[in-house]
Amino acid sequence: QQQVKQSPQSLIVQKGGIPIINCAYENTAFDYFPWYQQFPGKGPALLIAIRPDVSEKKEGRFTISFNKSAKQFSLHIMDSQPGDSATYFCAASPMNSGNTPLVFGKGTRLSVIA
Partner 1 sequence: DGGITQSPKYLFRKEGQNVTLSCEQNLNHDAMYWYRQDPGQGLRLIYYSQIVNDFQKGDIAEGYSVSREKKESFPLTVTSAQKNPTAFYLCASSMGTSGTEQYFGPGTRLTVT
Contacting positions for partner 1 (CB under 8 A): 9, 31-32, 34, 36, 41-46, 49, 89, 93-102, 104-107
Q: Which of 17/111 has CB closer to partner 1?
A: 111
Under 8 Å between Cβ of 34 and 46: yes
Min dist CB 114 to partner 1, Å, is: 25
Min dist CB 51 to partner 1, Å, is: 8
Full DSSP string of 1-39: ---EEEE-SEEEEETT---EEEEEE--TTEEEEEEEEE-
Min dist CB 67 to partner 1, Å, is: 19
Min dist CB 46 to partner 1, Å, is: 6
User: In terms of C-beta density within 10 A (0-12 exposed, 13-18 middle, 19 or more buried), how is residue 75 classed?
Assistant: buried
Q: Which of 23/112 has CB closer to partner 1?
A: 23
Q: Which of 78/95 has CB closer to partner 1?
A: 95
| Spatial separation of the C-alpha atoms in residues 102 and 93, rounded to whole Å | 5
